[in-house]
Amino acid sequence: MGLIEQLFGASPFHPLVEHAKKVHECLKQVRPLTEAMVREDYEEVHRLQDLVSKLEYEADQIKHRIRELLPRKFFLPVARDDLDRYLHCQDNIADGVEDFAVILVIRKTRIHEELVPIFCEFVDQVTKVGETLISCSEELIPLAESSFSGAQAEKILDRISSVGEEEWKADRIQRRLSMQMYQMEDVLGPIDISFYEKMLHALSDIANAAENTGDMLRAMIVKG
């Protein structure tokens, strides 16, 4: 058995699933990071940021191995360029989590108590978008075995549609949160508002990356 097969098995879809699982590990840290920030446990924020950095690095290593060791070794049911774009979008989810974690350690920003409920609602919705997408990514192996067609493909297409719906819900919560935040301008300082915006942007990037990954997966299925 060659090196590629030893590392990845018979196709690139196995490592793509492993990459998805590593991205999911990153995603699962968003809520604990938020909870630590809300209770102003900045030591825990730093610990979790270190963990996210490690997980994101491990996801990058998997991504690099996929690109370096599996360029043209296999007959694939989808275009290699599409697969690479899919991998890039999926990796952006982990990048977004890392960006969020870094923002939290740059400054000890306190979330105003009136904003905590809706901020946590937004975090949970962003996480739901990502996890809905990851549930699709984990089906890549049976999807490839069915040549990206048939009942398996239809099931994934239905699930991808729910990714878009959940991302739309995240956008609506973000809009409400932003409106509430700016209604409190006389209470919040400009630096706090600036960091709130950075947090919202990073969280929004996570949801957008998940939706983009779903769009790429949909495109591969439709082309198949």
Per-residue confidence of the chain (224 residues) as pLDDT tens digits?
344 444 444 578 889 999 999 999 999 999 999 999 999 999 999 999 999 999 999 999 999 988 876 556 556 777 788 888 999 999 999 999 999 999 999 999 999 999 999 999 999 999 999 999 999 998 888 888 888 888 889 989 998 999 999 999 999 999 999 999 999 999 998 999 999 999 999 999 999 999 999 999 999 898 76
Report pLDDT for 70. 58
CATH class of 9-223: mainly alpha
DSSP code per residue over the chain: --HHHHHHTTSTHHHHHHHHHHHHHHHTTHHHHHHHHHTT-HHHHHHHHHHHHHHHHHHHHHHHHHHHH-SSSS--SS-HHHHHHHHHHHHHHHHHHHHHHHHHHHS-PPPPTTTHHHHHHHHHHHHHHHHHHHHHHTTHHHHHHTTT-HHHHHHHHHHHHHHHHHHHHHHHHHHHHHHHHHTTTTTS-HHHHHHHHHHHHHHHHHHHHHHHHHHHHHHHHHH-
Q: For residue 179, what pLDDT is reported?
A: 96
pLDDT computed for residue 69 by the predictor: 63
pTM of the entire predicted model: 0.91
pLDDT value of residue 8? 46
> Domain locations in the chain?
9-223
What does the pLDDT read at residue 81? 86
Q: What is the pLDDT of residue 107?
A: 94
**What's the confidence (pLDDT) of residue 213?**
96
